[in-house]
Each structure stands twice: as structure tokens, then as C-alpha cells.
């Protein structure tokens, strides 16, 4: 089964390929000849995920899934949330992490979660959404070289190291994206 994953992010694509394995033939946006930007105009992960999937489905009429994910920090009112990728005003990961660390400085409650919402649209245009959450906390400082985005400041529950200090194998077993993807893959296997 061929399904397009709506991302231009090579790290995210690689992570998803490692999680999905051979169960789905994953096509990237470049594989289908799309090089533009996909709009994300909404204020929730659910709406943005659906918008991205519909945008590609409407143009290419192929099964597609998209994700929108965000870091939600309890003491920041669940921010950055939908604005995770450009929280500092740019897409620079270090700037984004620096802003979160600065805003949470002095807070006793460093509880946070990564949340992913996947939207799958089948060949008939029917949409289905799947959510994955990994709970954890914000580290005192950046640590680690693995992963991408906010991985150097997020410590997943049950671990003492950040996502960026953990191997991709461990991260891919417990990540929010893995949890949402597992639900999606299960749905595809039961409905194909």
C-alpha cells in the first residue's frame, strides 16, 4: 500500500520510516513531485493536521497522512503547542528551546508533553485522526545530539535523559509520533 506522508522535514520522514518499517510504502512530498509549502492556518493540532492532509489529497488524489505535533508545557498554559515550530519567531530550534527555557526559568512545575495528531485520508477522501502523547518534563538545560526540534530539552517520563540523549531506537519506541502512527498502522491493517 502506497501512502504519502506530507512532510519536507527529512528528520521526521526518517523517523516515520523507521517506525512504519515495511508495512506501508511511504512516499514523501518530493516523491509525488510536490515542492511548495503546505498551509497551516489553524490554532489547533487537529485542524492543522487535517488541513495539510486535505491540501495534498485535493491536488494528487492519493491516500495521504499528515501530522501536526507540538510541545505543551503545563506552566506555560500548554504553549508552545500549535506554534512549536516557530515559537521564537523563527524556525531555529535553538532559539525556540532558549525561549522555552527562559520562560520556564524558576518554575517548580516543569511538566510537559509532546502531542501528535495524525490525519489519514483514504483514496475515497474519508478522513480519520489518531493522537499520540508522551508525557515528561523540561530539562534545566539543553543536552544531547540525537533527534531534532525540542528533543534536547524534553525528558520523557520513565527516563532521566532527554530525547536527544537517547538513541533513535528508544525514542521511536516511546515517542508521541510512534504512538499516533501505531494507531494509524493498526487502522490501515484492519481496513485494507
Active centre residues (catalytic): 68
- Measured distance CA(179)–CA(172) in Å, rounded: 9
Residue 74's contacts (CB-CB under 8 Å, 6 or more residues apart) are 109, 111, 112
Q: Which residue from 126, 74, 136 is spatially nearest to 100, judged by alpha carbons?
A: 74
Q: What angle in degrees, to the nearest 10, is found between the helix axes of 10-20 and 176-190? A: 50
- Measured distance CA(103)–CA(97) in Å, rounded: 10
- Measured distance CA(170)–CA(161) in Å, rounded: 11
Cell numbers given for 132:
499520540
- Measured distance CA(63)–CA(123) in Å, rounded: 5
Read off the DSSP letter of residue 113. E
Residue 178's contacts (CB-CB under 8 Å, 6 or more residues apart) are 19, 132, 172
Amino acid at each position: 500500500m502506497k501512502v504519502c506522508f506530507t512532510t519536507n522535514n527529512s528528520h521526521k520522514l526518517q523517523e516515520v520510516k523507521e517506525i512504519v518499517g515495511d508495512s506501508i510504502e511511504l512516499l514523501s512530498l518530493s516523491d509525488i513531485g510536490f515542492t511548495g509549502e503546505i498551509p497551516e492556518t489553524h490554532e489547533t493540532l487537529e485542524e492543522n493536521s487535517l488541513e495539510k492532509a486535505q491540501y495534498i489529497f485535493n491536488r494528487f488524489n492519493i491516500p495521504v497522512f499528515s501530522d501536526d505535533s507540538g510541545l505543551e508545557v503545563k506552566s506555560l498554559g500548554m504553549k508552545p503547542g500549535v506554534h512549536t515550530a516557530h515559537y521564537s519567531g523563527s524556525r531555529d530550534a535553538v532559539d525556540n528551546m532558549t525561549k522555552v527555557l527562559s520562560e520556564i526559568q524558576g518554575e517548580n512545575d516543569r511538566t510537559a508533553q509532546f502531542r501528535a495528531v495524525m490525519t489519514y485520508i483514504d483514496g475515497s477522501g474519508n478522513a480519520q485522526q489518531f493522537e499520540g502523547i508522551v508525557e515528561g518534563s523540561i530539562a534545566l538545560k539543553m543536552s544531547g545530539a540525537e533527534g531534532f526540534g525540542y528533543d534536547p530539552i524534553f525528558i520523557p517520563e520513565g527516563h532521566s535523559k532527554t530525547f536527544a540523549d537517547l538513541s533513535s531506537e528508544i525514542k521511536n519506541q516511546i515517542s508521541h509520533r510512534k504512538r499516533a502512527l501505531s494507531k494509524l498502522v493498526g487502522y490501515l491493517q484492519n481496513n485494507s
